[in-house]
Structure 1
Amino acid sequence: LAGLALGLGLHAYTGYRVMPFVALLVLGYAALVQRWPVATFAGRTALYSGGAVLIGLPVVIFALQHPADYNARTVQTLILAAPVDNAVKVQQLWENLQKHVLMFTVSGDMNGRHNLPGAPMLDPLSGGLVVFGLGLVVLRARDWRSVLLLAWAGAALASGIVTLAFEAPTAVRTIAITPVLAILAGLGLVVLLDRFVALVTVSRVVIRWRATALAAAMGVLTIGWIGLTNLDTFFNRQMNDSGTWAAFSPGQTMIAKTALDNRGQYETILGSATLTPSVEAAYLVPDLQTTLQVFDPARDLPYRGRGPAFVYLEAEHDQALADEVARFYPDAQRLPGGPPGAAEIINGFRLDPVVLDDHRGGRAHYRGADGVVVERQETQPVWEPTSAPVALPAEVSWQAALALETTGEYGFRAPPGFELRLDDAEIASGDTGTRVRLARGTHSLALTGTVKPGGPASLDWRPPGASGWSPVADRALYTPPNGGVGLQVALAPLPQVGDPPEERVDPVVAHYFHISPFPQPNLNPRLWMAEWVGMLDAPTTGTYEFDLDHAGHSALWLDQALVMSDLNTATARLGGTVFLTAGRHAIRVRYEKTEEDGGAWIDLYWAPPGAQRSIVPGSVLYPPPPEVLGPAE
């Protein structure tokens, strides 16, 4: 049975691999100290080895045929194989040893898939019994059974001690120690109860059977308390812990379940790059993969479709983007994305058609010839002789968010008597057309003028690829949220040659680049740069604190003055203080990914006067004025 059990262990985690050999060595030790006859030792060894090989044979064959694959993960996680100095390796091994010894009763595995993050691996009572049982085993260290337990425990712990320092302590790699812990706890409990019976019956005042019954009841209560404590840990504390939730792919699962529960009843599901595509979705809804897409703020905010659509954004990496979705669609249904009573791990939104329709078009403000004022939402800046809601001539102010799908040359032509402003810059007036270059994404549009009696009037455009003029399409116009729409970002490989291959309007400077930020499938540079430019609207006059949390190199300029930079040196965070007057200031942020390995992220923080540190929100960020290319015919 021992051989069969240990052979079965080979099919489990890598920590079990050495156990058959540990048991074989202890078997030899037992034969020596107990002076087994050679025939007895040979028979037991053959029986043990045969059982282990019989059950573990598939794994053994694979290991012999594919040694590189079999050992790949082990080699990948070994401290000894890491490209660091030996002194560093020794220090990491020593720290790992301490962490793994203390993980049972002091501070345990931080991974929510293995444990209640940071909590001791054992409940207090089990931990105490294990320590007591270990003491008993050490006192009988020459007994072959003690040697087996100590060798087993040492080999099991070594599987975690010699691997990645930043993951220590790790419960999964040391999972082979579980039987030893159970034996030590049981041994400690039995010996304590036995000593209790002996102590209370030494004077013969208490009858032995009564003492034994009392000890049995104490044992049952102890085991019951341990069981209830662990049930509470597993099904209450751990189930409602945000760290545990985050470790079990909640976002990927939510996306897959949403697709499964709403099969055929939604337009698309958008998620953080860390959430989609995913193995969970491929398994649960293999036929709906085309409806699951990575959230692209330049393409999906505002949402261009008719809905319903779902958006799932990670709180850890994309909270700033989630705040922007909530700013654009404050009336969208919020979907729970975390354990009860805890902070959201996933920000979920349901964008129903009625919500999307409420945010299409623009805000129109009319003042008629008779002084009557009307404000309403309209789909397009197009006026027929009888469409104005007030007496003509009427003063009109029409504002919208202009959502563009393509970076390129756009022509605009304002109706007679009107002035068009894009991103707060005057573009066209009268009936003269103007060509401008605009990046894809969201821009602010403002049209002001006078609607006069007579023929129809409209704001016309000529987008890239169009041959003639037409009214600005309603699918490109959305009711703008209060404030800005973001900065214009240019992306380019390093070293930079020629014009940037990608430009867009980015709502915030707060990104974790889980995948390449370049949309072209044939362009995925390992080294690249991103530069955001535009205007920052300071809400009040005073001293502002700024800092950049990032991997790589970055810099910040305000009003053409350098505030902070590590473009030539490496540091984890940059900080700077600057005095700003209320109003808009030119801002430029540059980020460079200069190492092929490692992650890429950048977060721009500020602390306005009297306020706490937070991500600079999109409501105070504005794109630069469009590049005017000349008149449009």
Structure 2
Amino acid sequence: MEGRRERRTITRLALALLAVALALYAQSRIREPNQLELSLALYGVAAVVFVAALRQRREPPLAPPAEADGGPARWRPIGWALVALSLLACALGLYSFREPRPQNLAWWCYLASMPLLLLGLWLGQSTLKLPKLTWRLGLRLEHLLVVALVLFAFALRFYRIAEQPLGVWYDEADNGLWARLMMQDATYRPVYVESTNLPAHFLYLVVASFRLFGEGIVALRLVTALFGTLTVWATYLLARELYGVRMGLAAGFIMAVAHWDVNFSRLAMHGISTPFFIVMVAYWLVRGLRSGRYVHFGLAGVALGLSLCFYVPNRLYPFVLVFLFAHLLITQRGFFRRYYRQALLLVLAALIAFAPVALFIVKWPNVFFARTKTTSIFKDKTPQEALVALRQNAVKHLLMFNYRGDGNGRHNLPGEPMLDFVTSVFFVLGLAYCLYRWRDPWCAFLLVGFAAMLSGGVFSLDFEAPQSLRAIGTLAFAHLIAFAALARLWQEYDYAFGPRWRGYAWVALVPLLAYIGYTNIDIYFNQQAKDFAVWNAYSTPETFVARRMLELGPDKDFRVISLYFQTPTLRFLAPEIGAYKRLETTDSMPLFDTGDREVVLFIDAERRALYEEVRRYYPGGQYEEIQPDFGGPVVLYVCRLTPAQVRGIQGLAGTYYRGETWDGEVLQQRQDQQVAFDWSGGTPIPTPFSVEWRGTLRAPKYGDYRISLRAPAAVELYLDETLVLDAAGEAQLTLAEGNHALRLRAVGAPGMLDLYWSPPGASPQIIGEGALYTNPPVTNNGLLGRYYPNLEWRGEPALAKIDPSLALYFHILLLPRPYTAEWVGKVNIPTPGNYAFGVESIDDSWVYVDERLVAETHVGNQYNQGHITLTAGLHDIRVRFVDKSNWSHINLYWQPPNQPRAIIPAEALFPPQGSYPQLVEAARPPSGVATEQGLAELDPVATWGQQGSGPAQFNEPRDVAVDARGQIYVADTGNRRVQVLDSAGQFLREWNRADQPLVEPLALAVNAAGEVLVLDSDPGWIYRFSVEGNYLGKFGGPEAQLYHPRGMSLAADGTVTVVDTGGGRLIQFDASGAKSGGYGSVGNAPGEFLEPTDVTTDAWGDLYVVDTGNRRIQNLDVFGRYKREWAIPLANAYNGPHLALAKDGSLFATAPELGLIQRYASDGTLLGQWGDGLLHVPVNLTIQDDLLYVADTLNHRVQVFRIRELN
């Protein structure tokens, strides 16, 4: 009989291990293309086998308490007196908390009430005998291991905590600012802080850290690092209590390395408190259920009450505990009689710990629950829409643990499962085991707790799903469920082999734990550290702004783009830099400044046009484009201008003529900073002479100005070529904010010559530095915009300003919504022909040319255009705009004949003025020699896909390739995979890994052997796959020293040319993958490149390189020698232009920022362009036969056009 029992036990263990192996295989396949359903089925089989093998119960129950030892009871009255004193302290504190600004006394009473309660409960009950563990490590060794475990956990959370993450996220900084205020103002002791939408308990811990270690990001993040470390300790205690010391240490180690927990432990936000409180409450509750001690229930209650004073998901935990007690009440006879006192004490302890926040909820419920309403999935949805979103949210959150995790780089490596490979396997098996044993209180507790905490993410905003922060409570429950499966397997091993072989389990467990540790540490400290989406997700540009300010010191004149102005990140990191100015998103150059200090401008990446304008006006400045060390897009522009450079374009250009008619011999030319001359003692040039000053007057604000002119002889003053004064005197006029052409004529004579003004609200003063600028470079080009505080463009405008061009994003509104604006002026038509004018805005807008309505749009963010035939010269233009919605913006485009669509440049626009300068023709495309390429048209054929992660759905696709059989391969970059479609666009298959998962698949090609080449930009490998997706090999990589390559071309002989974007060069590999050559280096000279993004090779071996940073296409011969170049529209390297060679030798190119496909002759002549309103940041394209396939990146689809030759 004994032998039969042993064989059965070994069989169960073997079956369980087989189930684990099958589950590991399922997990290894789950992220492979088209393998989700099969993997889930394998998981199902594994779960059934695992449960069947281990269905017999081994773990100890949540046992009833031991009997009291009948010890002395003399301390009981003192204990219960302390409990009463605790209640008195709590009541006194609550009385003080009634005030909006409670004082220190309220908090001291509150803090005293909890230890008084716990001490009273400890003394108020006689000592009980505790159950002994049947096997344990030596006490000293156990303590050493626990100390080592906790120190290891803390090291993972504290190592380089100020550098990773590099940025200081908005909410982190906001927490730091509130803590700073609480330190500075001894009377400010809040219970709840509205900007954080949370109670203030977390902030008091930050205050304590600041007092101990000083203000800064290290002290700020130390609080959450300690929470994460304490979660590891609590996990050890709970697993030890449930399963023994060995499982306690193993569980603690897994929690210590879990990348999910490590990530939020290094982010100074409330979320990481949730797993700690979940585990700690569970530990003391289990201890209490097994011991019956009042103090254990008191500790559980205090932990529960405190948890409600931290992060929002904790508010669900009490319902989970209510369920647990209800379950015990139903399933365990006599439970109510044995435990009702303890349950009441738990509730009492929780209420005491939660008391200040509970009172706040009673007094100000709308404030407390405001954030929950704004993040609800039901917000702004019909019931049907909410139901669909809820179902999708639930699926995404259930799959985030082992399939596709949170895509927010601040929360996770985008898309990486929230649990590591091994832990996710035991999580699924544990889930199945707990479902089978749902009658067991602990299993039921894990299931209900998991579901409750998952709902925090499921019921929040659907576009963020899966959301690992709002569902952070599942971090604890998912790991506890995994530990349940691992512990049950370990218990079966113990039962099978007995005490003699118990220690040998470590032989298998230690390598398993080592693998779990390595996987998690690599994800956080390696992969996340080199991922741009992670790097940029922590208010990184603002962090650079603050740190640059501190480096440069407070004596500089800082101008910060309004997107970052006075953000919590700047205010927390650079409190010493208080006086800096806001640079509006609608601002233009030059600087309105006297130039007495060095000026430093911080411009966001989206305002590259403003950055280029600064460089054009101040070419001698120091310019920095900030991007990550490992490569990636620019996130911030920094411009440093010396006082001399600022003043260098200030003043007026004066021309001194012989005679008094301003047309004689030129005697002198000079730049005068102002017109303020005392010629009483003699003139600078012998009379007769005359002077004409020309330049630009910059009006700092809209309003009434008084212009005064004092002169000893004849003078004339013109503003915007309108005569203002024809003799000494003064004039009252209304000036729009911005640049105005100024011309002053004076006849030389002894006496005073001064030009004054009185700006709105200011006293008379010489018009001097900061208001006068030379022309060139400063002109008054643009349109006159009038802004009305109504929807009818009626009455006097509230604001008028000269806007150089209409590419405006109003981050800071010029007027309260709703308002209207109208821009008027002239547009210079350089050559006659048919012009397209288009507009895109947030609300309604209209474009009139010569008072003829040409284009209008009434749908937000939708581009519309119209055509009009115009003669060369100036034409009236008028634009109307209604602003009623968030994200206010308007963009005005034109498309001259045979040129690409572009924002109408400032030099083509003129505000209303008395007369206009001689017209200068705009630059034309290079003419080159006559080509044989004829006219063509693109006819839309098909559109495939939509945003998503399912089959034939895409997330920012960036390339398309077609094989000889007509199968289409799509680089589905955002989903980190390659999808294969048939010729009709139907899904065939997908793959997402080679010898390692794909990270950033950007470019594709199919070679003559039928192999699919995939350029994975992040690691720099070019992978080879069969058409079925089988991995065949790779080349490139670290040895090739590729730095975020973004393009790849395949020649007829099999040569692969890779565009090394970060390295500014081309690298060639032969058909076998061996490096065979290269061209170029970083620069802007011929044959040099700045962030190139693509290359193609024609039949003669000539290379055409998209030199994105230099805004050109360069043509090199077969030997890499420079031949020619031509300009292309502005773009950034991340979504840079790409090329496709047509059979007639012409080049099709994407213009991502314009949403266009352009066609060039081989000499650079623009032959045509298409795509208005159809494409949103098209990045790459390919041609097969007469079909053009376009990766329409931000529309998340592939579009197909037929190339139709025109006779």
Asked if the contact 2:842/2:890 (under 8 Å) is kept, the reply is yes
Distance verdict in 2 for CA 1:381–1:224, change over 3 Å: same
Match of 1:352 in 2: 642
Task: Output the CA distance in 2 between the equivalents of 1:154 and 1:467.
Answer: 66
Higher relative contact order (CA 8 A, sep 6+): 1
Distance verdict in 2 for CA 1:493–1:430, change over 3 Å: closer
Task: Output the CA distance in 2 between the equivalents of 1:113 and 1:233.
Answer: 13
Asked if the contact 2:457/2:465 (under 8 Å) is kept, the reply is yes
Task: Output the CA distance in 1 between the equivalents of 2:446 and 2:897.
Answer: 63
Match of 1:560 in 2: 851
Q: Quick check: 499-508 or 31-40, which moved more? A: 31-40
What's the offset of the Cα at 1:594? 3.9
Match of 2:594 in 1: 305
Q: Which of residues 180, 187, 203 is equivalent to 2:477?
A: 180
SS at match of 2:476: helix
Q: Does 1:218 align with 2:506?
A: no
Q: Does 1:488 align with 2:776?
A: no
Equivalent pairs, count: 600
Question: What is the correspondence of 1:134-533 to structure 2 with a 5 Å cutoff?
Answer: 134-187=431-484, 212-234=506-528, 236-237=529-530, 241=532, 245-248=536-539, 250-251=541-542, 253-254=543-544, 256-257=546-547, 260-261=550-551, 264-267=554-557, 269-283=558-572, 289-293=578-582, 295=584, 301-306=590-595, 307-316=597-606, 318-340=607-629, 341-363=631-653, 377-380=671-674, 399-406=694-701, 407-408=703-704, 422-423=719-720, 425=721, 427=723, 437-445=734-742, 460=755, 473-479=768-774, 480-481=776-777, 485-495=781-791, 496-518=793-815, 525-533=816-824
% identical aligned pairs = 28
Task: Output the CA distance in 1 between the equivalents of 2:772 and 2:694.
Answer: 9
Q: Does 1:548 align with 2:813?
A: no
Q: Does 1:90 align with 2:360?
A: no
1:269-322 deviation line (CA, Å, top 9, x unaligned): 333333333344555666764544454866974232323233333334x44444
What's the offset of the Cα at 1:256? 4.8
Distance verdict in 2 for CA 1:469–1:183, change over 3 Å: closer
Task: Output the CA distance in 2 between the equivalents of 1:37 and 1:467.
Answer: 82
SS at match of 1:532: strand
SS at match of 1:17: helix
What's the offset of the Cα at 1:367? 9.6
Residue type at the aligned position of 1:511: L
SS at match of 1:573: coil
Asked if the contact 2:713/2:747 (under 8 Å) is kept, the reply is no
SS at match of 2:892: strand
What's the offset of the Cα at 1:349? 2.6
SS at match of 2:536: helix
Match of 1:16 in 2: 314
Residue type at the aligned position of 1:224: Y
Distance verdict in 2 for CA 1:470–1:220, change over 3 Å: closer
Q: Which of residues 864, 879, 882 is equivalent to 1:575?
A: 864
Task: Output the CA distance in 2 between the equivalents of 1:526 and 1:48.
Answer: 52
Task: Output the CA distance in 2 between the equivalents of 1:467 and 1:170.
Answer: 54
Distance verdict in 2 for CA 1:99–1:462, change over 3 Å: same
Residue type at the aligned position of 1:560: E
1:192-244 deviation line (CA, Å, top 9, x unaligned): 89999999x9xxxxx9976751442233223222223222245x135xx2565
Q: Which of residues 328, 336, 344 is equivalent to 1:38?
A: 336
Task: Output the CA distance in 2 between the equivalents of 1:582 and 1:128.
Answer: 72
Distance verdict in 2 for CA 1:197–1:543, change over 3 Å: farther
Match of 1:130 in 2: 427
SS at match of 1:529: strand
Task: Output the CA distance in 1 between the equivalents of 2:328 and 2:802.
Answer: 73
Asked if the contact 2:740/2:779 (under 8 Å) is kept, the reply is no
Asked if the contact 2:838/2:865 (under 8 Å) is kept, the reply is yes
Distance verdict in 2 for CA 1:108–1:563, change over 3 Å: farther
SS at match of 1:182: helix
Match of 1:63 in 2: 361
Task: Output the CA distance in 2 between the equivalents of 1:398 and 1:298.
Answer: 26
Residue type at the aligned position of 2:458: I
Asked if the contact 1:542/1:580 (under 8 Å) is kept, the reply is yes
Task: Output the CA distance in 2 between the equivalents of 1:100 and 1:214.
Answer: 32
Q: Quick check: 24-33 or 434-443, which moved more? A: 434-443
Distance verdict in 2 for CA 1:417–1:230, change over 3 Å: same
Task: Output the CA distance in 1 between the equivalents of 2:749 and 2:707.
Answer: 25
What's the offset of the Cα at 1:176? 1.3
Distance verdict in 2 for CA 1:55–1:404, change over 3 Å: same
Distance verdict in 2 for CA 1:60–1:237, change over 3 Å: farther
What's the offset of the Cα at 1:494? 0.8
Asked if the contact 1:302/1:478 (under 8 Å) is kept, the reply is no
Asked if the contact 2:697/2:739 (under 8 Å) is kept, the reply is yes
Task: Output the CA distance in 2 between the equivalents of 1:591 and 1:538.
Answer: 23
Q: Quick check: 179-188 or 414-423, which moved more? A: 414-423
Asked if the contact 2:722/2:914 (under 8 Å) is kept, the reply is no
Q: Quick check: 65-74 or 455-464, which moved more? A: 455-464
What's the offset of the Cα at 1:477? 1.4
Please identify the structure whose Cα radius of gyration is greater: 2
Task: Output the CA distance in 1 between the equivalents of 2:433 and 2:320.
Answer: 21
What's the offset of the Cα at 1:157? 1.8
Task: Output the CA distance in 2 between the equivalents of 1:52 and 1:167.
Answer: 33
In structure 2, list runs of 5 or more residues that go unmatched: 1-283, 286-299, 917-1207
1:458-487 deviation line (CA, Å, top 9, x unaligned): 795656689999985344212342776432
Task: Output the CA distance in 1 between the equivalents of 2:762 and 2:575.
Answer: 41
What's the offset of the Cα at 1:504? 1.4
Task: Output the CA distance in 2 between the equivalents of 1:167 and 1:547.
Answer: 33
Residue type at the aligned position of 1:491: Y
Q: Quick check: 410-419 or 138-147, which moved more? A: 410-419
Task: Output the CA distance in 2 between the equivalents of 1:250 and 1:113.
Answer: 14
Distance verdict in 2 for CA 1:196–1:219, change over 3 Å: farther
Distance verdict in 2 for CA 1:506–1:19, change over 3 Å: same
1:349-373 deviation line (CA, Å, top 9, x unaligned): 3333122122212456789999999
SS at match of 2:326: helix
Asked if the contact 1:242/1:343 (under 8 Å) is kept, the reply is no
Task: Output the CA distance in 2 between the equivalents of 1:338 and 1:467.
Answer: 43
Task: Output the CA distance in 1 between the equivalents of 2:492 and 2:866.
Answer: 69
Aligned-residue Cα RMSD (Å) equals 4.7
Task: Output the CA distance in 1 between the equivalents of 2:316 and 2:308.
Answer: 9
What's the offset of the Cα at 1:265? 0.8
Residue type at the aligned position of 1:159: G
Distance verdict in 2 for CA 1:83–1:482, change over 3 Å: closer
Asked if the contact 1:321/1:508 (under 8 Å) is kept, the reply is no
What's the offset of the Cα at 1:532? 1.7
Distance verdict in 2 for CA 1:35–1:409, change over 3 Å: same
